[in-house]
């Protein structure tokens, strides 16, 4: 395995563990055991656990933005459909029944924002990048001109993203997918698809 492959393997392994346990609850030894990588290797790739956390979040957002961009690049006669597909995918991966693909933003935002300014900044930048991609998708539709008060694509993208983040937190607390159902109904009404 090349250096890049080992680093990627550590980050991919860590994403699965940390998305379930959180950042502070997971030690470096646990990550390296799970990745089957010697301890000395960690400090070859990351100067500290905080630097590792920054790299983990950047890795997560890079993958997420790539997937989102591909989804919204799909050629469709109904430009609203990729937005609904995005929400459906969110609900599927963040559902109480889902054991994989947990959202690192939902898991780590409150935990690390007060612990690490560097990690908070990556979260901020990543969230803004997601909102920009959503806004780009929204601007391809006729929705913006039809909404009362004509919010900008950026404002509606912000609302949708905040709605789904909040639904994810409530679903975790409630152990119920009902918040996602409400979020979907609200999103559809905003997109005038209900």
Q: Which pLDDT tens digit goes with each residue over 4-17?
A: 788 999 999 999 99
- Residue 189, pLDDT score: 87
In a domain, 112, yes or no: yes
Residue 172, domain extent: 54-190
**Mean pLDDT of the 76-96 span:** 84
In a domain, 149, yes or no: yes
| 160 CB-contact burial (10 Å; exposed 0-12 / middle 13-18 / buried 19+) | buried
In a domain, 182, yes or no: yes
For residues 112 and 53, the answer to whether their CB atoms sit within 8 Å is yes
- Residue 3, pLDDT score: 67
- Give residue 148's pLDDT band: very low, low, confident or very high (50, 70, 90): low
Q: Give the predicted TM-score (pTM) of the model.
A: 0.89
In a domain, 167, yes or no: yes
For the chain, the domain total comes to: 1
Q: Which pLDDT tens digit goes with each residue over 150-172?
A: 678 899 999 999 999 999 999 98
Mean pLDDT, the chain, as a whole number? Answer: 88
In a domain, 147, yes or no: yes
In a domain, 49, yes or no: no
Q: Which domain CATH number covers 61?
A: 1.10.357.10
In a domain, 9, yes or no: no
- Residue 2, pLDDT score: 73
In a domain, 168, yes or no: yes
């Amino acid at each position: 395995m090349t250096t890049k492959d080992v680093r990627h393997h550590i980050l991919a392994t860590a994403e699965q563990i940390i998305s379930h346990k959180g950042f502070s609850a997971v030690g470096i030894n646990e990550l390296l055991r799970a990745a089957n990588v010697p301890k000395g290797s960690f400090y070859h790739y990351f100067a500290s656990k905080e630097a590792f956390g920054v790299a983990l979040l950047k890795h997560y957002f890079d993958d997420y933005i790539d997937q989102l961009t591909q989804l919204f690049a799909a050629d469709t006669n109904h430009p609203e459909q990729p937005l609904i597909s995005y929400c459906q995918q969110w609900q599927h991966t963040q559902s109480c029944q889902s054991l994989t693909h947990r959202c690192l933003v939902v898991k780590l935002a409150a935990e690390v924002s007060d612990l690490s300014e560097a990690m908070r900044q990556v979260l901020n930048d990543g969230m803004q990048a997601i909102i920009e991609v959503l806004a780009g998708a929204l601007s391809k539709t006729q929705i913006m001109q039809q909404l009362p008060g004509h919010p900008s694509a950026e404002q509606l993208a912000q609302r949708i993203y905040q709605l789904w983040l909040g639904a994810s937190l409530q679903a975790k607390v409630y152990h119920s997918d009902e918040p996602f159902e409400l979020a979907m109904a609200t999103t559809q009404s905003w997109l005038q698809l209900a």
